[in-house]
Amino acid sequence: MPADVAILVVTALVAAVAVAAAVVAVRALREVRRINAERAAEPPRELVVTEPEPSVVDVDARPVKVVEGRVVATLTQQDLLEARLSRPLARLSVYAHGIAHALRPESRDRITALMKREYRRRRAIRLRAARRALYAVPNDELTGRTEWLGSTDRAESLPRAVGE
């Protein structure tokens, strides 16, 4: 496919996606306007506060109110604590303490020693396997060679380069 055709196809795809996004946005805007118009047309309602009836399966004992058909849960001490601990600065502090804990000399040395030990263990396993594989070969195949290191028999049979 030529480059200009590929660019044309990609541009067409991008244009189709943009048109689809525009349609979705316009529809959402119309929906929001319709809801706002309906709300403006309705007369103001009185604030109705109703207590929910106690159910049999009431696991969470937190105080809950229903205001205008919406369930409003009162925050407990636990919620407040969790909110305080989930603030960005608190999370950052927690991460910083975690990293500082991991980079203590004792943790650092332990991790480094673990890595070295793991590397040596794997190397020892590989060398042992190589040694076993070497010993598994019959001696005849290793020692039955007629040529020696540096012998010229094999070298002479090899093709020579030009000018050699």
Partner 1 sequence: MISRVVYLAIGAAAGAYGTVKARRAAYRLSAPGVVDQAAAAGLGWRELRSEIADGMAAHERTQYLKLTRKQQR
Q: Does 97 bind partner 1 (CB under 8 A)?
A: yes
Applying CB under 8 A, among 55, 74, 77, 143 the residue interacting with partner 1 is 77
Q: Does 30 bind partner 1 (CB under 8 A)?
A: no
Alpha-carbon span 56 to 66, nearest angstrom: 18
Please count the other Cβ atoms lying within 10 Å of the Cβ belonging to residue 66: 13
Applying CB under 8 A, among 67, 115, 131, 154 the residue interacting with partner 1 is 115
Q: Does 22 bind partner 1 (CB under 8 A)?
A: no
Q: Does 62 bind partner 1 (CB under 8 A)?
A: no
Nearer Cβ to partner 1 (31/109): 109
Q: Does 75 bind partner 1 (CB under 8 A)?
A: no
What does the DSSP assignment read for 14-77? HHHHHHHHHHHHHHHHHHHHHHHHHHHHSPPPP--EEPPPPPS-----S-EEEETTEEEEPP-H
Applying CB under 8 A, among 8, 28, 33, 95 the residue interacting with partner 1 is 95
Q: Does 99 bind partner 1 (CB under 8 A)?
A: yes
Applying CB under 8 A, among 65, 87, 126, 131 the residue interacting with partner 1 is 126
Alpha-carbon span 93 to 83, nearest angstrom: 15
Please count the other Cβ atoms lying within 10 Å of the Cβ belonging to residue 76: 13
Alpha-carbon span 29 to 87, nearest angstrom: 33
Alpha-carbon span 13 to 6, nearest angstrom: 11
Q: Does 6 bind partner 1 (CB under 8 A)?
A: no
At 129, list the tokens.
Answer: 């396997």
Chain residues in the site for partner 1 (CB under 8 A): 77, 80-81, 84-85, 90, 93-95, 97-102, 107, 110-112, 114-116, 118-119, 122-123, 126
